Amino acid sequence: MIDRSALDRIVQAGGFISARAGSAPEANSIPVPKHNADLAMEAAACIGCGACAAACPNGSAMLFTSAKVSHLALLPQGDPERESRVLKMVQVMDAEGFGNCTNTYECEAVCPAEISASFIAKLNREYARARFRRSMGE
Ligand code: SF4
């Protein structure tokens, strides 16, 4: 049995959007560029199994976290909480004791959802962008 609760706590830190629940909105009321929609769907394929962190020699959960951060950052619905989400999720990821990524690509090789390691670069960009915007007081 695998204890995946650390991954759940990362998602609890920000892997969601805050929206009023109600009837389903008209599907075409929020346009999403095709490229972004495709990438978001790829990232959303992550099932949170933890195989990436288990296979990583650094015990890094960056493929998992990058998939969760990216799939919301790529969509307009995720935009309002874009900065706070990545900052909180990375903070919890670090607090849980996961290691840092050194580009061994073991995660990508074992991922059953074929999540691309390129999402880790997206996570790093999202984090840098959030830190910069916070430092500018935005
Ligand atoms: S191995 Fe793939 S599907 Fe499993 S948690 Fe990591 S990124 Fe998600």
Q: For 5-51, how does the pLDDT look when each residue is reduced to its tens digit (9 = 90+)?
A: 999 999 999 999 998 888 887 878 889 999 999 999 999 999 999 99
Q: What's the CA dihedral at 52, 100, 9, 131 to 10 degrees?
A: -130
Show the domains of the chain with their CATH numbers.
5-11+33-135 (1.10.1060)
Query: Is the shortest distance between the CB of 111 and ligand 1 below 6 Å?
Result: yes
**Can you give the pLDDT at residue 1?**
75
pLDDT tens per residue, range 86-110: 999 999 999 999 999 999 999 999 9
User: Which residue lies with its CA nearest to atom 8 of ligand 1?
Assistant: 46
Mutational test site, ligand 1, from 71, 89, 115, 123, max ligand atoms within 8 Å of CB: 115
Q: What is the pLDDT of residue 2?
A: 79
CB contact at 8 A, 90 and 114: no
50 lines ligand 1 (CB under 6 A): yes
pLDDT at 7: 97
